[in-house]
Amino acid sequence: MSDRQSSNAYWQANLRIIYICLAIWALVSYGFAIILRPLISMIPVGGTDLGFWFAQQGSILVFIVLIFWYAARMNKLDAEYGVDE
């Protein structure tokens, strides 16, 4: 594989990871916390309903998990394409 093909494949894989993170972010922050809140508000979590929990705490926790997942996945991808440190 040439350097140009390898570079394109690397960036395609990188963009795929970013799109996955953005989709999860949108689902959690807009889907669960705003759009689907009436549907999930009947599920109790920690003294409040699940929709409120996602809006206040769940989204933040999911974002933190996404940051660590992205970093780990990018380290693996960097090693795979030989661009790691």
Phi and psi at 44, nearest 5°, equal: -80, 140
Name residue, tokens 């705003």: 34
Q: What is the pLDDT of residue 12?
A: 95
Would you say residue 48 has pLDDT above 70? yes
pTM: 0.81
- The answer to whether residue 2 scores a pLDDT higher than 90 is no
- Beta-carbon contacts of 39 under 8 Å, excluding residues fewer than 6 positions away, are none
- Residue type present at position 47: G
Mean pLDDT of 39-52: 88
With a pLDDT cut of 90, the percent of the chain lying above it is: 49
- The partner residues of 49 in beta bridges, in order of sequence, read 44
What is the mean pLDDT of the segment spanning 21-43?
A: 90
Q: Is the pLDDT of residue 1 over 70?
A: no
